[in-house]
Amino acid sequence: MTFEDQVEVTLPTGEKTKIHTGLLINGQFVKSKNGKKFPTVNPANGQVIAEIYEADKADVDDAVQAAKAAYKTWRHVDGAERGKLLSKFADLMDANAKTIAAIETLDQGKLYGISLFHTHASASTLRYYAGLSDKIHGKTMMDTNKFFNYTRHEPYGVTAGIIPWNYPLDMWTMKVGPAIAGGNVIIIKTSEKTPLTGLILGALAKEAGFPDGVIQVLSGFGPTCGQALAEHPEISKIAFTGSGRTGRRILETSAKSNLKKVSLELGGKSPALVFEDADLDLAANVLAGTFYYNNAQTCVASSRIYVQKSVADAFTQKFTAAAQAIKVGSPFAEGVTQGPIVDDLQFNQVLKYIDAGKQEGGKLVLGGNKIAGDGYFIEPTVFSNVPETSKIMTEEIFGPVVCVNTFETEEEVTERANNTTYGLAAGVFTKDLNRAVRVSSNLEAGTIWVNQWLNITPQVPFGGYKESGIGRELGEDALKEWTQIKSVKIAM
């Protein structure tokens, strides 16, 4: 590895760290075949942090060949050994957490404390799958006395993960953890907006001792590198997190190539239902705290809040006060509670939605402006009384713009909450246990939060109803997405 292939980055603490800029293929950081690089930008000031090698179809081919070669040996590695490697990898993440978190904040813009939390949370995901690696087993069945049958849960072999930019560390480990536990080899393509921490994790996987070609990392763009992965006839399974548009495209591409298995975690427009008997302080603080977390660049953001009419004014006041208390600024600065939007494209997209909200008749209660300066900062924004069919009420914004509407009855609000093509998450705020359970049953979403929000843990499956996705991540259920069942039938 030559020094030219690493870039030295100065962290806000003054500490310097080196990051590989190459692609991790077959255990080595290498230049892309075409030699092209692309810049990754610090959204807090618009300045280039580093130039990163850009993978193309030819690099995808190389990675797939290395993966195939690695799988020949890897498929015989015991689950316990895979678990040991994942555990070691998790320990290395924890040990390097401060550097990983600082780079994540530089590249993505989320608060440093939040990046630190997600670094450790991502290590926990790896550790959870380390524990499951040697607990994958099938069943035995006797159909008649003449035949003995058993099932094996076998890996797909060469797999890929395409991940987005909002939670790069979580997305990386939510794909790699179960892929490795299930016995696969995996190629990860990071988002072109946030390539840096994926490269650090690649280096740590190497340090943990994963054999060459088992975990590979490609930086690159969707239509080139991502498309080449989706098209590749020798990749058997692909897991994607990102927009519905791209998810559909990957599914179509799979249908036109080799019918690779596809799991998708897509967007949402998640409704939070606040009933009149709810603890309003809790509801307002939890919803404001979790909605604006990471600038609402969160697929499960509670972007549609429905409040029962009798408490609507009180709730809106408390929610708005909590939102107003948010201090926007450098994600490294003391006292700041919201950083910049990830990049200029997303920034302009969010501002367009705010304009649409103003034009479509919603009442602007708070914010609604960009903040002057070099970075991509937007005020926490609240609209109320928003027309149900308007853009900001129906489309995923991925920015700090929330809609607060009112309702009269449980039946009515359940229907309105479900009146969306999405189904990723939903939530209920109430002190009435019967109502909490009833409404949770009636809401059409993969995750329902009761008197809380955004609590995502490795043990509990996560994924979407309706157009929010296919398959589940996390929990034991994710292993079903990374293994296939073989039935062996023995004549006795």
Q: Is 164 in the site for ligand ADP (CB under 6 A)?
A: yes
Q: Is 226 in the site for ligand ADP (CB under 6 A)?
A: yes
Listed in sequence order, the residues at least 6 apart from 487 whose beta carbon sits closer than 8 Å to its beta carbon are 149, 150, 151
- Convert 7-27 to b/e letters by CB count within 10 Å (16 or more is b): bebebeeeeebebbbbbbbbb
Residues in the chain: 492
Number of residues that bind ligand ADP (CB under 6 A): 17
Q: Is 242 in the site for ligand ADP (CB under 6 A)?
A: yes
How distant, in Å, are the alpha carbons of 17, 90, 183, 214 from that of 74? Answer: 32, 20, 7, 7
Q: Residue with structure tokens 């930008």?
A: 41
Using the contact rule CB under 6 A, the part of the chain among 114-122, 224-232, 371-379, 389-397 near ligand ADP is: 224-232
CA angle 40, 237, 263 (to 5 degrees): 75
Using the contact rule CB under 6 A, the part of the chain among 208-216, 238-246, 269-277, 379-387 near ligand ADP is: 238-246
Active site annotation includes 265: yes
How distant, in Å, are the alpha carbons of 17, 150, 406, 447, 477 from that of 464? Answer: 38, 31, 25, 8, 13
Listed in sequence order, the residues at least 6 apart from 365 whose beta carbon sits closer than 8 Å to its beta carbon are 316, 320, 382, 383, 384, 404
Q: Is 318 in the site for ligand ADP (CB under 6 A)?
A: no
Beta carbon nearer to ligand ADP, 163 or 322: 163
Secondary structure class of 39 (helix, strand, coil)? strand
Instruction: In angstroms, give the least distance from the CB of 260 to ligand ADP.
Output: 12
Secondary structure class of 408 (helix, strand, coil)? coil
How far apart are alpha carbons 58 and 343 in whole angstroms? 28
Using the contact rule CB under 6 A, the part of the chain among 35-43, 162-170, 268-276, 327-335 near ligand ADP is: 162-170
Beta carbon nearer to ligand ADP, 172 or 332: 172
Instruction: In angstroms, give the least distance from the CB of 1 to ligand ADP.
Output: 25
Beta carbon nearer to ligand ADP, 163 or 456: 163
Given 54, 62, 104, 192, the residue binding ligand ADP (CB under 6 A): 192
Instruction: In angstroms, give the least distance from the CB of 340 to ligand ADP.
Output: 16
Beta carbon nearer to ligand ADP, 396 or 481: 396
| Binding stretches for ligand ADP (CB under 6 A) | 162-164, 189, 191-192, 221-223, 226-227, 230, 242-243, 246, 249-250
Would you name the residues annotated as active-site residues? Answer: 265
